Structure 1
Amino acid sequence: MPSPLITRVVQDPSDGFRFLPHLETEPPDLRVSFDVLGGGRIRARMTGTSVPALMGTEHKADLRARPDEVHGAAARLCARWKERFVDFQPVDDRGRALRERRRPYAVPADLSSEPEGELRTVVADLARGGESLLFDTLLRGDDARIETFRTYLRAALSREGLRVRFDSDLQLPWPMLCTGEQPAASATTLGALFSRFLGHRHQIEHTGDAYAWIGPPRTAQRQPAVSLNHDGRVGSATRADEVAKALAEGTECTVRTTYEELVRDFGNPHLDEQLMYFWCHGEFIGNEPEPRVLAIRLTDGTPFDGHTVRELRARHRNSSFRPLVLLNACHAGVAGASADRAFLGRMLIEHGAQGVLGPHIAMPQAFAAEYALEFVRRYLRGEQTAGRIAHELARHFAARYRNPLGFAYGLHGGMDSRLELTSGGDT
Structure 2
Amino acid sequence: MPRALTTRVVQDPSDGFRFLPHLETEPPDLRVSFDVLGGGRIRARMTGAAVPALAGSEHKADLVCGPDEVHGAAARLCARWKERFVDFQPVDGQGRVIRSRRRPYALAVDLTGEPEDELRTVVADLARGGESLLFDTLLRGDDVRIEAFRTYLRSALSREGLRVRFDSDLQLPWPMLCAGEAPTAPASLDQLFARFLGHRHQIEYTGDAYAWIGPPRRARRRPAVSLNHDIHVGGATRADEVAKALAEGTECTERTTYAELVRDLEDPRLDEQFMYFWCHGEFVGNAPEPHVLVIRLTDGIAFDGHLVRELRSGQRHSCFRPLVLLNACHAGLPGASADRAFLGRMFIEHGAQGVLGPHIAMPQAFAAEYALEFVRRYLRGESTAGRIVYELARHFAARHRNPLGFAYGLHGGMDARLERTSGGDA
Query: Are positions 1:55 and 2:80 aligned together?
Result: no
Partner of 1:128: 128
Equivalent-residue separation in structure 1 for 2:278 and 2:104 (angstroms):
23
Tell me the amino acid that sits aligned with residue 144 of structure 2: A
Query: Are positions 1:404 and 2:403 aligned together?
Result: yes
Query: Are positions 1:352 and 2:351 aligned together?
Result: yes
The superposition leaves residues 68-105 of structure 1 with CA deviations (integer Å, 9 ceiling, x where unpaired) of 00000000000000000000000011111101000000
How far off is 1:9 after superposition? 8.2
Query: Are positions 1:261 and 2:260 aligned together?
Result: yes
Equivalent-residue separation in structure 1 for 2:245 and 2:270 (angstroms):
21
How far off is 1:20 after superposition? 2.6
Equivalent-residue separation in structure 2 for 1:425 and 1:192 (angstroms):
49
Normalising by structure 2, report the TM-score: 0.97
Query: Are positions 1:373 and 2:372 aligned together?
Result: yes
Partner of 1:214: 213
Partner of 1:20: 20
Query: Are positions 1:101 and 2:78 aligned together?
Result: no
Tell me the amino acid that sits aligned with residue 232 of structure 2: R
Equivalent-residue separation in structure 2 for 1:134 and 1:217 (angstroms):
38
Partner of 2:185: 185
Tell me the amino acid that sits aligned with residue 172 of structure 1: L
Contact (CA 8 Å) 2:220, 2:425: kept in 1 or not?
A: no
The superposition leaves residues 271-319 of structure 1 with CA deviations (integer Å, 9 ceiling, x where unpaired) of 1100000000100111001001000000010110000000100021210
Tell me the amino acid that sits aligned with residue 295 of structure 1: V
Question: What fraction of aligned residue pairs are identical, expressed as a percent?
Answer: 82
- Structure 1: state its 5+ residue gaps: none
Partner of 2:333: 334
Equivalent-residue separation in structure 2 for 1:199 and 1:211 (angstroms):
25
Map 1:276-425 onto structure 2 (within 5 A). Answer: 276-424=275-423
Equivalent-residue separation in structure 1 for 2:166 and 2:21 (angstroms):
22
How far off is 1:10 after superposition? 6.6
Kindly tell me: are residues 31 and 426 of structure 1, through their superposed partners in 2, closer, same or farther at Cα, counting changes over 3 Å?
farther
Tell me the amino acid that sits aligned with residue 76 of structure 1: R
Tell me the amino acid that sits aligned with residue 226 of structure 1: V
How far off is 1:60 after superposition? 0.2
With 209-218 and 7-16 compared, the bigger mean Cα shift is at 7-16
User: SS at the partner of 1:106?
Assistant: helix
Partner of 2:166: 166
Partner of 1:232: 231
How far off is 1:425 after superposition? 7.8
Partner of 1:87: 87
Equivalent-residue separation in structure 2 for 1:226 and 1:338 (angstroms):
34
Equivalent-residue separation in structure 1 for 2:228 and 2:276 (angstroms):
6
How far off is 1:401 after superposition? 0.3
Count of equivalent residues: 424
Tell me the amino acid that sits aligned with residue 257 of structure 2: T
Partner of 1:30: 30
User: SS at the partner of 1:270?
Assistant: coil
Equivalent-residue separation in structure 1 for 2:352 and 2:24 (angstroms):
16
Tell me the amino acid that sits aligned with residue 116 of structure 1: E
Query: Are positions 1:147 and 2:147 aligned together?
Result: yes
Contact (CA 8 Å) 1:16, 1:215: kept in 2 or not?
A: no
How far off is 1:219 after superposition? 1.2
Equivalent-residue separation in structure 2 for 1:212 and 1:414 (angstroms):
10
The superposition leaves residues 94-126 of structure 1 with CA deviations (integer Å, 9 ceiling, x where unpaired) of 111101000000001110110111000000000
How far off is 1:7 after superposition? 7.9
User: SS at the partner of 1:60?
Assistant: strand
Partner of 2:269: 270
The superposition leaves residues 150-209 of structure 1 with CA deviations (integer Å, 9 ceiling, x where unpaired) of 0000000000000000000001000000004111103x1000000000000000000001
Moved over 6 A (4+): 7-10
Equivalent-residue separation in structure 1 for 2:425 and 2:404 (angstroms):
32
Contact (CA 8 Å) 1:29, 1:49: kept in 2 or not?
A: yes
Equivalent-residue separation in structure 2 for 1:280 and 1:218 (angstroms):
28
Equivalent-residue separation in structure 2 for 1:16 and 1:199 (angstroms):
43
Contact (CA 8 Å) 2:19, 2:213: kept in 1 or not?
A: no
Kindly tell me: are residues 58 and 10 of structure 1, through their superposed partners in 2, closer, same or farther at Cα, counting changes over 3 Å?
same
Kindly tell me: are residues 63 and 261 of structure 1, through their superposed partners in 2, closer, same or farther at Cα, counting changes over 3 Å?
same
Contact (CA 8 Å) 1:89, 1:98: kept in 2 or not?
A: yes
User: SS at the partner of 2:104?
Assistant: coil
Contact (CA 8 Å) 1:225, 1:253: kept in 2 or not?
A: yes
Tell me the amino acid that sits aligned with residue 221 of structure 2: R
User: SS at the partner of 1:185?
Assistant: coil
Equivalent-residue separation in structure 1 for 2:419 and 2:339 (angstroms):
32
Kindly tell me: are residues 10 and 403 of structure 1, through their superposed partners in 2, closer, same or farther at Cα, counting changes over 3 Å?
farther
Q: CA RMSD in A?
A: 1.6
Kindly tell me: are residues 279 and 33 of structure 1, through their superposed partners in 2, closer, same or farther at Cα, counting changes over 3 Å?
same
How far off is 1:333 after superposition? 1.1
Tell me the amino acid that sits aligned with residue 374 of structure 2: F
